[in-house]
A and B are shown apart, each in its own frame.
Chain A
Amino acid sequence: MSPAGLLAAPLAVAVALGAGVWLVAVIDILVAGTVAGSRPGVGVAVLRPVRAAALRLLQRRTSTERPDWQAWALAPALLVGLGATMLTAVPLDRGVAVADVPHGVILLGAAAAMVIVPVFLAGWSPNSYLSLVGGYRMFAQALSYMIPLALVLIGAALPAESLAFGDVVADQQDLWNVVRMPLGLPVYLVAASGLAFWGPLSLPSGTDLSGGIDLEASSVHLAAWRFGQRAVLVGAAAVGAAAFLGGWAGPVLPGAVWTVLKTALLLAVLVAGRHLLARIRPERFVVLAWTVLMPAALVDIFATGAWLL
């Protein structure tokens, strides 16, 4: 990579991540308002996330009794980093990607597996019981969504005979994976919600834990942590758009626009899920994941294999 590229790449990822997280917040405000029956104007919705972030900048941090400061401070940074890593592997347009590595799908899987680490650190370090329960809940749900997540992504890569996201997208120009493997995207969206501990799978940060892993965070730390969570959501949506919705493929508009539109569409679906589906209980999700999600992912990958033969 050229020196200019070395500078431009992180900048591009940062801008994309920031824009994505802002978009999640705006969609969230609009969907929540619609469900609640009092939607604010788009102007208000567009500015509110920025205003809320500014407010966090003005606050000072609080501390709990004997926290593990290093681990606590590391958690949001790690989470943002993982969201960024997911985004780097996704091509914006044909041949335009920060790092369309030959094993992009594996990289994504590795990043997704690592998400447990910052989430558990965030739960464990404040030395607070409900946060800790939140951290452990992440283990329970991650053990349940990880294998289905990996299976449907490998299923998406099968027809392309490549693990690079560029090839996976290029292979879908005629027929998107969402049609070729109808079970893939639904399973992936459930897994993505689990990965970003979002909506019905916000078990680590649920209202029943009064925020759980979020409970003791304050000020910039809280803002960074929530940014990280939504960064993972954005990363997961971008990967979903590439793996199942044909990435840059689409008529008239330039490829990059299609990639962004499809990512936004998946984000809207994930945000709608947050407001339209109740949070599931941890043990129930574990059972559902192993008895429904996992077989569905296996059927998905076997059917794809059979179709390719």
Chain B
Amino acid sequence: MAVGGRLRRPVERLAAGAPVPVFAITGPGTARAVQHLRLDHRLEVVDSPRHATVLLVAGPLPGPLAEPAARCHDALPHPRATVWWAAPDHVSARQVLPDAEPVAAGTQPAATVLRVHREVLAGSRPSEATVLPDEDPVAWRGVGPYGHGGRGMTGGHPFGRPLAERDGDLRDGLALDAVPVTFGPFLPALPAGLTLRAVLQGDVLQQVQVEAAGSSTGRVLPPAGPVGADWDAPGREASRAGASGRGAFDRVQHEPVPLAALETARARHHLGWLAEALRLAGLEALGLRALRLAATPDPDAVAADRLGRAVRRTGALTALGRGRAVLQRGQVAGRDLGPVARAAGVAEDRRAQHPAYRSLGFEPVVHRSGDTRARWEQRLAEIAQSLDLAARADRQVIGPGEPVEEPRGPGGARAATCRALLGLVGDLLTGAEWGEAVAALASLDLDPYAPAPARGTA
């Protein structure tokens, strides 16, 4: 429905002041930058394209993600518009969404989002047409007594969609309807770029297969410039960092970086993770508090400590339960899994090998149980530890080639870390309920784009 006639103008004027509902499609290396848009009062990052007026595409999209992106685009209600942040330079690469308004990589997109939103509401910019044909993936075939091609009332692929089929339940053997469903790659409950193919019974995952956008074999579009640094928030500091715009963990590969800067970046990374985990736990507002702290160049240890206590008071850790999505020591040891391994009691940390850290009395934080809750505890403890190290650091500097522990795992092993995590996910999620699976995935902090060739390298 749309209001027309004499009422339209006043309603438009009222609506113009509302925060713009934006659905974000997060491309490679843009997760943090997109996350930080949540701090902008003029925008409201929504969970469904059907709730949005503007589609924000961030970064270049790997070839196989073009079609899912177009499907998201077509789910936006009219009037709608697209803004492509850090769009690929090649026009051919932008053909997926030809009407998208480009925004340069180094510019914040909020002003453009606001402008196209107002234009499209006022009618001065035409609402974008549907990109994909509105037709069934497969025609109705009329096979069998009910026409769907299955047995009895179940099975078959009417209109190309698999219908539920009787199958034993994993837990009690009760024969229930099992449905194959694909989620992602842009479902806000999952890490951006992750496709989850599952056979579900109710909300229990019976079989799980995951596919990361970065490891797909399809053509990868030419990379654009960095949207915002991966580890650092794209705040004022990041833009001052100048041409590279990259975080401390990217810089340390090429130049010496103060230990304090690395530890601050780690704390900020984990705070960003915490913000997303809190959002998924139903605590959006507290998540914003964590995000605001992650966006400060120099997060205050006292504020972080208070935040940690506030998180505990919400019962978020209790709600996760114990013994959920457990990773055993043997599964994680020696596989470059960083905090995920440490949460399972494996004291692997490159920092322990570095004299600068040893001079500060560094000992890796370790948790024992290896479940979802332990991974939360691990990161909360590492935030406090990193801020403490940063505060106590004198003038220690870490140079290129020296052992570095990144927030997700050992330096130089980003792709390996992601692949190792992806290899574990199938077993980890099988038999879990949906909510549990989402929490477990979030607790792994995986970047599905990591296995792709590093950005900026020829």
Within 8 A of B (CB), among A220-272: 220, 222
Partner of B179, one of A129, A220, A282: A129
B37 in the interface, Cβ–Cβ < 8 Å?
no
- Chain A interface, >50% SS class: helix
Q: Chain B residues with Cβ under 8 A from A283's Cβ? A: 433
| Interface pick from A35-43, A85-93, A103-111 | A35-43
| CB < 8 Å A-B pair total | 172
> In whole angstroms, what is the CA distance A52 to B187 when docked?
24
Q: Chain B residues with Cβ under 8 A from A216's Cβ? A: 48, 50
Shortest CB distance A225–B (Å)? 11
Asked if B314 and A277 make an inter-chain contact with CB atoms under 8 angstroms apart, the answer reads: yes
| Interface pick from A16-24, A57-65, A165-173 | A57-65
Q: Chain A residues with Cβ under 8 A from B47's Cβ? A: 207, 210-211, 215
Asked if A210 and B51 make an inter-chain contact with CB atoms under 8 angstroms apart, the answer reads: no
Contact with A along B272-295 (1 / 0, CB 8 A): 000000011111111011001000
Q: Evaluate whether A200 and B51 lie within 8 angstroms (CB atoms) in the complex, with A40-B41, A284-B319 already known.
A: no
> In whole angstroms, what is the CA distance A48 to B202 when docked?
37
* Residue among B8, B79, B189, B203 having the largest count of chain A Cβ atoms under 10 Å: B203
Asked if B435 and A275 make an inter-chain contact with CB atoms under 8 angstroms apart, the answer reads: no
Q: Evaluate whether A35 and B48 lie within 8 angstroms (CB atoms) in the complex, with A58-B12, A60-B77, A278-B315 already known.
A: no
Asked if A206 and B435 make an inter-chain contact with CB atoms under 8 angstroms apart, the answer reads: yes
Q: Chain B residues with Cβ under 8 A from A62's Cβ? A: 50, 75-77
Shortest CB distance B206–A (Å)? 14
Partner of B202, one of A31, A36, A133: A133
Q: Evaluate whether A282 and B284 lie within 8 angstroms (CB atoms) in the complex, with A133-B202, A136-B202, A218-B77 already known.
A: no
Partner of A208, one of B1, B121, B202, B438: B438
Q: Chain B residues with Cβ under 8 A from A277's Cβ? A: 314-315
A281 in the interface, Cβ–Cβ < 8 Å?
yes
Asked if B435 and A208 make an inter-chain contact with CB atoms under 8 angstroms apart, the answer reads: yes
Asked if B433 and A36 make an inter-chain contact with CB atoms under 8 angstroms apart, the answer reads: no
Partner of A207, one of B18, B189, B319: B189
Asked if A278 and B319 make an inter-chain contact with CB atoms under 8 angstroms apart, the answer reads: yes
A276 in the interface, Cβ–Cβ < 8 Å?
yes
Asked if A55 and B53 make an inter-chain contact with CB atoms under 8 angstroms apart, the answer reads: yes
Q: Evaluate whether A275 and B283 lie within 8 angstroms (CB atoms) in the complex, with A52-B18, A54-B11, A55-B53 already known.
A: yes
Shortest CB distance A142–B (Å)? 16
Interface size on A, residues (CB 8 A): 57
Interface magnitude class on chain B: 35 or more
Q: Chain B residues with Cβ under 8 A from A217's Cβ? A: 50-51
Partner of B2, one of A31, A57, A129, A280: A57
> In whole angstroms, what is the CA distance A137 to B203 when docked?
9
> In whole angstroms, what is the CA distance A58 to B289 when docked?
32
Asked if B282 and A279 make an inter-chain contact with CB atoms under 8 angstroms apart, the answer reads: yes
A209 in the interface, Cβ–Cβ < 8 Å?
yes
Asked if B282 and A207 make an inter-chain contact with CB atoms under 8 angstroms apart, the answer reads: yes
Q: Chain B residues with Cβ under 8 A from A222's Cβ? A: 50-51
> In whole angstroms, what is the CA distance A50 to B14 when docked?
8
Shortest CB distance A82–B (Å)? 23
Within 8 A of A (CB), among B1-39: 1-3, 8, 11-12, 14-19, 21
Shortest CB distance A118–B (Å)? 19
Q: Chain A residues with Cβ under 8 A from B318's Cβ? A: 278
A47 in the interface, Cβ–Cβ < 8 Å?
yes
> In whole angstroms, what is the CA distance A137 to B202 when docked?
10
Q: Chain A residues with Cβ under 8 A from B316's Cβ? A: 278
Q: Chain A residues with Cβ under 8 A from B351's Cβ? A: none
> In whole angstroms, what is the CA distance A89 to B217 when docked?
63
B335 in the interface, Cβ–Cβ < 8 Å?
no
B200 in the interface, Cβ–Cβ < 8 Å?
yes
B439 in the interface, Cβ–Cβ < 8 Å?
yes
Shortest CB distance B324–A (Å)? 9
Asked if A210 and B15 make an inter-chain contact with CB atoms under 8 angstroms apart, the answer reads: no
A51 in the interface, Cβ–Cβ < 8 Å?
yes
A162 in the interface, Cβ–Cβ < 8 Å?
no
Chain B residue at minimal CB-CB distance from A62: B77
Asked if B50 and A55 make an inter-chain contact with CB atoms under 8 angstroms apart, the answer reads: no
Partner of B189, one of A37, A209, A220: A209
Q: Chain B residues with Cβ under 8 A from A207's Cβ? A: 47, 188-189, 279-282, 284
Q: Chain B residues with Cβ under 8 A from A35's Cβ? A: 285-286, 288-289
A202 in the interface, Cβ–Cβ < 8 Å?
yes
Asked if B314 and A276 make an inter-chain contact with CB atoms under 8 angstroms apart, the answer reads: yes
Within 8 A of A (CB), among B178-237: 179, 181, 183, 187-189, 200, 202-203
Chain B residue at minimal CB-CB distance from A126: B50
Chain A residue at minimal CB-CB distance from B441: A208
**Top 5 A-B residue pairs of the complex, sorted by shortest distance between their CB atoms:** A279-B282, A51-B18, A36-B288, A278-B316, A54-B14
A38-B288, A61-B77, A133-B434 given; 13 more Cβ-contact pairs under 8 Å? A36-B285, A48-B19, A51-B18, A57-B11, A60-B77, A65-B136, A66-B159, A136-B202, A207-B282, A209-B435, A210-B188, A277-B314, A281-B435
- 6 A-B pairs with CB atoms under 8 Å apart are A51-B14, A55-B15, A62-B75, A208-B439, A279-B283, A281-B435
